[in-house]
Amino acid sequence: MAKSTHPTKPCADGFCFLAGLFFGLFCFWSLTLYHYKPHFGFIPLSAKASGYGAEAPILHSDPPHETFYDDPELSYFIEKPVNNWDQKRRVWLDLHPSFAAGSRDRVLLVTGSQPSVCKNPIGDHLLLRFFKNKVDYCRLHGHDIFYNDAYLHPKMDSYWAKLPIIRAAMLAHPEAEWIWWMDSDAVFTDMEFKVPLGRYKDHNLVVHGWPNMVYEDKNKSWTGLNAGVLLIRNCQWSMDLIDVWASMGPLSPDFERWGQILTSVFKDKLFPVSDDQSSLIYLLFTNKEKWGDNTYLEGEYNLEGYWLALVGKYDILTESYIKMERNEGVLRRRHAEKVNEWYDTEREKYLKRRERRPFVTHFTGCQPCSGEHNPQYSADLCWNEMKRALNYADNQVLKNYGFVHPELSSSDVSAVRS
């Protein structure tokens, strides 16, 4: 018999056996850890952190090429029209490719309040909490936010103040496709809901409204839509709409005449003053081809919901959501706030069988800053329901931090029970 050219040492076979056994145990241990939940301190090699490594807009560079910002004729004042805005914005985005990526879904939320101190003793506190609510929503969904507390035109105050602000925001933020205006007294009460922007790909303006109350003569009403919350595309069409819309406001020498016209058209309009909401409806139905056909009247969810119709549902909806989370383990699992949208998407699968939270609760008529509320309801009703709405929304944020307001009427918190 020929001798082996590589003689085996006495312990070699045993070593191989032990090595194989150790390797098998290691694989089993690794798989066990991988499937064990939660993964305390263990990150599988195949797991990829959502969003990590994604290209972000470059904030520290501005190419030297000329853009519309270099035009000495550029004016942020609402009196001077902006022409060729689509082309100007396109050139800017081409020069800033890191902003061009994803620009079709980029949203800037714009809101604000008056520059003076509130007359209502608790008005400034309420406005602060309303603002916090909007900041929370924007943080959760990756939106930028601009809060303005100055009148950008001395004549455009009250409900007309938003037009100069929206127009200036378009010029200041060419990277944003949508400007989302929200009145100061509007509250996000479903912090998880995402506006379905894809639904509005063929429209430039989105408001909550009812077509029959806007376009049908027999049903026409000045409340056919609500202009307190709106999405408007950053484009030339919107610039033109704002110009025409503002021409019916306090800047116009025909301001008083417009008030008389609108009062004669809308039989349910009780005050003879031209307001932003009646003016918008008037534009939509008098030139439907240009303005109405490019406006989406949203009615499938509460883009803007009247508070008296919604506040009574909060407690029932809270119990419904708690029950849903108890029954579905993935929804009950604790998680980091940064991955909240993944859980929001999972929750949508189960909400198809349930009533969902109202997206926005608008306290129209309550006037939290001036305190001059609609006399049909009391001041206490307004302030108490505002507090409940804000705590209801805050619960959806605080739960990721381990706390909750057990009573919506109180700002006291307690730890979330597992």
3-state SS string for 241-289: HHHHHHCCCCCCCCHHHHHHHHHHHCCCCCCCCCCHHHHHHHHHHHCCC
Same domain for 199 and 317, yes or no, is: no
pLDDT digits (tens, 9 = 90+) for 370-384: 999 999 999 999 999
CA atoms within 13 A on the CB side of 176: 24
Q: Which residue from 356, 315, 374, 411 is spatially nearest to 185, judged by alpha carbons?
A: 374
Say how many domains are in the chain: 2
* Length of the chain counted residue by residue: 418
Q: Is residue 364 part of a domain?
A: yes
Q: Is residue 134 part of a domain?
A: yes
Same domain for 184 and 326, yes or no, is: no
Same domain for 120 and 197, yes or no, is: yes
Segment among 45-59, 190-204, 230-244 with least mean pLDDT? 45-59
Residue 267 has pLDDT above 70, yes or no: yes
Amino acid 101: pLDDT: 83
- Neighbouring-strand partners of residue 361: 187, 305
User: Radius of gyration (Cα) for the chain, nearest Å?
Assistant: 28
> If pLDDT is split at 50, 70 and 90, which confidence band does 321 have?
very high
> If pLDDT is split at 50, 70 and 90, which confidence band does 418 have?
low
Residue 393 has pLDDT above 90, yes or no: yes
Residue 406 has pLDDT above 70, yes or no: yes
Same domain for 355 and 273, yes or no, is: no
Q: Is residue 32 part of a domain?
A: no
Last residue of a domain, one of 286, 304, 322: 304
Same domain for 108 and 208, yes or no, is: yes
CATH of the domain at 183: 3.90.550
Q: Which residue has the higher pLDDT, 283 or 18?
A: 283
Same domain for 95 and 214, yes or no, is: yes
Segment among 43-57, 93-107, 194-208 with least mean pLDDT? 43-57
Same domain for 325 and 297, yes or no, is: no
Same domain for 139 and 267, yes or no, is: yes
Q: Is residue 392 part of a domain?
A: yes
Segment among 41-45, 106-110, 355-359 with least mean pLDDT? 41-45
Q: Reading across the β-sheet that carries 225-233, which strands appear in turn?
A: 144-148, 107-112, 178-182, 225-233, 205-209, 295-298
Host domain of residue 201:
68-304
Last residue of a domain, one of 289, 304, 319: 304
> If pLDDT is split at 50, 70 and 90, which confidence band does 82 have?
very high
Q: Is residue 21 part of a domain?
A: no
Neighbours of 193 (CB within 10 A): 21
Q: Is residue 188 within 8 Å of 394, Cβ to Cβ?
A: no
Same domain for 296 and 346, yes or no, is: no
Q: Is residue 168 within 8 Å of 242, Cβ to Cβ?
A: no
Q: Is residue 162 part of a domain?
A: yes
Same domain for 282 and 299, yes or no, is: yes
Same domain for 195 and 75, yes or no, is: yes
> If pLDDT is split at 50, 70 and 90, which confidence band does 51 have?
very low
Q: Is residue 272 within 8 Å of 263, Cβ to Cβ?
A: yes
The DSSP symbol for 115 reads S
Q: Is residue 28 part of a domain?
A: no
Last residue of a domain, one of 275, 304, 333: 304
> If pLDDT is split at 50, 70 and 90, which confidence band does 158 have?
confident
Q: For residue 213, count CB atoms less than 10 angstroms from its CB and return exposed for 0-12, middle for 13-18, buried for 19 or more.
A: middle
Q: Is residue 10 part of a domain?
A: no
Residue 43 has pLDDT above 50, yes or no: no
Neighbours of 113 (CB within 10 A): 21
Q: Which residue from 171, 168, 174 is spatially nearest to 94, judged by alpha carbons?
A: 174
Angle between helices 123-141 and 340-351 (to 10 degrees): 90
Q: Which residue from 223, 179, 222 is spatially nearest to 204, judged by alpha carbons?
A: 179
> If pLDDT is split at 50, 70 and 90, which confidence band does 44 have?
very low
Same domain for 154 and 211, yes or no, is: yes
